Structure 1
Amino acid sequence: MDNRIQLSRRRLALRAALVLGGALATPPALADDLRDALAAAYRGNPTLEAARAQQRAVDESVPIARAQGLPSLSGNASYTEILKASANNFGIGPDRVLDVAATASYPVYSGGAVRNAINAAQTRVRAGQSDLRGVETGLFAQTTAAYMDVIQNEAIVGLNRNNVQVLEVNLSATRDRFEIGDLTRTDVAQSQARLAQARSDLRSAEANLAASRETYIRFVGKPASNLQPPPPLPGMPGSPDEAVTMALDNNPDLRAERERSKASRFDSKAAGAGRLPKISVFVTGDRTDYLGSYNQSPFNPLATTRPLSAQAGVRATIPLFQGGLPAAQQRQAQARESAQLETEIATEREVIAVVRTYYQQWKASQEIIVSSQAAVDAAALGLEGVRAENSVGNRTILDILNAEQELLNAQTVLVRARRNEYVAGFNLIAAMGRATAADLALDAGPFYDPDANYRRVRGMIFDWEKDPRPIARATRTVDTPAQTGAISDAAAAALRPAGMQTSPTGTGGK
């Protein structure tokens, strides 16, 4: 009996230890890796697609601003039916009149308002492109966290399932020994309580796994399938100062705020143009047709004519007094410029703090991995020692249960530390502005180029040019099955959180 129990314990202990082993020698079929997940998010995530559409809307601000400085052509026509002529016309007036006029105008000088408005719009296009890169890197950071959460929670489910199986064997062995009088009912009750708690923990872990799988679908657009260990992180900094230097140059949010500060400067200049003269040239043509309704008479020379007139000239609008409007508009624009300058500094502060925080989290997680691995090794050795001492009567069942729980806790901490190390490392390179699809060299098809749309629309001047009817491009997830926290028996035995390492040393380092 004791030999059978010890053999079962060793088998279950070995199965639990495999959860913390290396990666499988042969990856399973239909597996996904992190690059696949990021590429799928890049191609079909609705948040990123919406940001691209918003940027296309920002692009249109340039032709809108430029239109204020281009020639304009307008026409008007009126048709008048004379229902009752005035008695003073002596019955010789027309019965109907068609009047057609056209006016062409070209603004020559607007005090710099148009020029500065165009400059502001172009600058905001560049700011929007940086915003789009920020959305892209933010999405990749969220996708990476979701990916690692699935791996982490699958490992935790596997650990808890193995723990339940170990405790089931312990309870069976405890009952057998109680039957022969070797243990007391208290020992049985302690084993039952610990098994019940383990089953509760397993159910909680399964719920967390189901939630993380749903989150993965939300970002990636498809269910997770045999997720593989992620690749090493590229270009990790050697110090927090190096990371901050890169972030100050490349962080997309900070670059966007810098461009907005430049745009607000142009806004202030444009607002000041309201007090300056505006000059334009114009040409007007007018034609009147009485549609043959003039009374034919020798005394009515206009009866058979169609009067035509044309004028050309220069129009100057010189504001003399506007109740302080242009000054108020310029002061308002300057106040907004001041606010934007402060916002730029606030964003710079935030970027510095975030980069330093992620760097410390990344380095701390590496140290936690080393200490947690040592704790796992010591807890496993301690469990074997407690079991051996129990077999000769020097340890109680409660000692075994506590040792098993300590091993499970150490294993769980190790799994989470590996997840946290990778996620912190990815967040760090994202904050440094080095986590776009191009930076990561994703195999996601042609990369979206926001500048291509800007080049397409910036010179459009025709009033009837429009794009095709908008359609949704993002991947829908209504057909994906509801996720559960279940893992297969093979997966439970094969899960190896050590495969979550970003390098053979357990770091995502340089």
Structure 2
Amino acid sequence: MKRLLFLLAAVSLHGADRQTLSLAEARALVLQRHPRISAADLTVRATEEIVNQNRAAYLPQLQGIVAGVVTSDATGGVRASTDQLQLAGIYNRASGALNLTQLITDFGRTSNLTASSRLRAEAEAKNAQTTRAQILLETDAACYAILQAQALLGVAEQTVKTRRLLRDNTLSLQKNQLKSAIDVSFAEVNFQDAELLISRSRNDLKSAHATLARLLLDPEGTEYRIATPAQPVALPRSAQGLIQMAGNMRPELSRLRLERDAALKFVKAENALSRPRVSLQGTAGTMPWRDSTLDQNYAAAGLVVTWPLFTGGLNTARQNEAEARAQAAEQLLRDEEARIARDVQIAWLNATNALERLNITERLRAQATQAYSLAEARYQAGSSSVVELSQSQLGLTAAEINQATTRYEYFLRRSILDFQTGILFRQHADGK
């Protein structure tokens, strides 16, 4: 009784760990849970803060200063000069002040820095979209691997059942001296080969479940029932239109274009380093303890112009660096456009070939089924040997395996093609 209760509990627990998912549901779950997507989103947020950092130069900068000063001069002060709006000397004092600085113009440096950082933030958002598409492709591959492994397991189980029956019948006929020992030996070899196939299929299915569980961050040992997706739409006759679509939709290309534009804005910002910076500065404060020659309260305001006349070649080097990086960004964009065009072409060829092979395997399976039926009838009638029947069984099993494998390979090839053209993420966003 205890043993029965234990088995029922184990079955119940096993059933609780099995989830039924459609491909769309698996995609939605992985987008919610996968840490790489969260990391990409956080990176976008961090990059957007750089825009605020650069834009802050437009706003007034207010500083509070509290100071206590004791000089070494017996007269109570040391004369000094400064280019800031501060006291023209150092005196014994305790003071508090507010300093205000407002940028009037830096002749385009701040505006170009802000525009450059905004473009880089948009580029990072495109990178996050690329990450989502990559995760979706991995999810599709895991789901199709489960479906393929389940189909192969079904083939293996049916093969084991058929070959066990053949072995048992051959063994009975051998006991009645109607078949020879060699017939029994061939039947046993075929049966063990089917056992090997089912063992391998079960392991492949467990591996596919483990891969999807890792993507969805589900507990170890979780199993899934994946609903078979609808047949993809027909393939176009050529890849040219798909290449043009990829040029417009691939987030990697959008990211590189934005990075190139950001680099060009940064070139303008670096060129503005040699121009003057005009700002309005003001200060106001009080000195409750001070030298007798100083007033208790003070305030001042002025216009400050800073112009870098000689920097030892620093600004020139920074400008040259920015220009070189902008040119490199342009070349990277050209290389990526060529690479994506190649990848789309190859993905279309692979999907087209998978579809052709799927049609061939369907015809092959039909022929193998007919050949097996004829061989089985001849064997039952005693007009053929077990070798002929075994060969027909092997042919049928191979045809069924090829059909199951090619079917889900075609689904995967279509997902890869959708990824290469840039529509995989958009399909999920549109609920397809």
The 8 Å contact of residues 233 and 426 in structure 1, kept in 2 or not, is answered as no
| Among 376, 389, 392, the residue aligned to 2:378 | 389
Mark the CA change 1:154 to 1:114 in structure 2 (over 3 Å): closer, same or farther.
Answer: same
Q: State the match for 2:114 in structure 1.
A: 118
Q: Does the alignment pair 1:311 with 2:300?
A: yes
Residue pairs, 1:414-429, within 5 angstroms:
414-429=403-418
Code of the aligned partner of 1:313: G
Q: State the match for 2:155 in structure 1.
A: 159
The 8 Å contact of residues 250 and 432 in structure 1, kept in 2 or not, is answered as yes
Q: Does the alignment pair 1:368 with 2:367?
A: no
Q: State the match for 2:26 in structure 1.
A: 37
Following superposition, the deviation at residue 169 of structure 1 comes to 1.2
Following superposition, the deviation at residue 186 of structure 1 comes to 2.3
Q: State the match for 1:144 in structure 2.
A: 140
Following superposition, the deviation at residue 131 of structure 1 comes to 1.6
Q: State the match for 1:358 in structure 2.
A: 347
Q: CA RMSD in A?
A: 2.5
Q: State the match for 1:182 in structure 2.
A: 178
CA distance in 2, matches of 1:279, 1:88: 37
Q: State the match for 1:408 in structure 2.
A: 397
CA distance in 1, matches of 2:174, 2:231: 52
Q: State the match for 1:20 in structure 2.
A: none
Per-residue CA deviation, residues 245-281 of structure 1 (Å, 9 max, x unaligned), is: 1111111111111111111111111122222222211
Kindly, what percent of the aligned residue pairs are identical? Answer: 20
Following superposition, the deviation at residue 87 of structure 1 comes to 6.1
Code of the aligned partner of 1:219: L
CA distance in 2, matches of 1:104, 1:229: 67
Give the length in aligned residue pairs. 398
Q: State the match for 2:338 in structure 1.
A: 349
Mark the CA change 1:86 to 1:354 in structure 2 (over 3 Å): closer, same or farther.
Answer: closer
Mark the CA change 1:349 to 1:414 in structure 2 (over 3 Å): closer, same or farther.
Answer: same
Mark the CA change 1:121 to 1:87 in structure 2 (over 3 Å): closer, same or farther.
Answer: closer
CA distance in 1, matches of 2:303, 2:233: 63
Q: Which runs of 5+ in 1 are unaligned?
A: 1-28, 90-95, 295-300, 444-510
SS in 1 for 2:68: strand
Code of the aligned partner of 2:284: G
Q: State the match for 2:387 in structure 1.
A: 398
Residue pairs, 1:220-239, within 5 angstroms:
220-222=216-218, 223-233=222-232, 237-239=236-238
CA distance in 2, matches of 1:221, 1:235: 34
CA distance in 1, matches of 2:359, 2:427: 33
More relative contact order, 1 or 2 (CA 8 Å, 6+ apart): 1
Residue pairs, 1:206-245, within 5 angstroms:
206-222=202-218, 223-233=222-232, 237-245=236-244
Q: Which moved more, 1:195-204 or 1:340-349?
A: 195-204
Code of the aligned partner of 1:184: S
Following superposition, the deviation at residue 336 of structure 1 comes to 1.0
TM-score for both structures, normalised by structure 1: 0.73
> When you count helix as a share of all residues, which structure comes out higher?
2
TM-score for both structures, normalised by structure 2: 0.85
Following superposition, the deviation at residue 114 of structure 1 comes to 0.8
CA distance in 2, matches of 1:208, 1:377: 26
CA distance in 1, matches of 2:147, 2:115: 49
Q: State the match for 1:467 in structure 2.
A: none
Q: State the match for 2:59 in structure 1.
A: 70
Q: Which runs of 5+ in 2 are unaligned?
A: 1-17, 77-91
SS in 2 for 1:247: helix
Q: State the match for 2:286 in structure 1.
A: 287
The 8 Å contact of residues 127 and 255 in structure 1, kept in 2 or not, is answered as yes
Mark the CA change 1:235 to 1:307 in structure 2 (over 3 Å): closer, same or farther.
Answer: farther
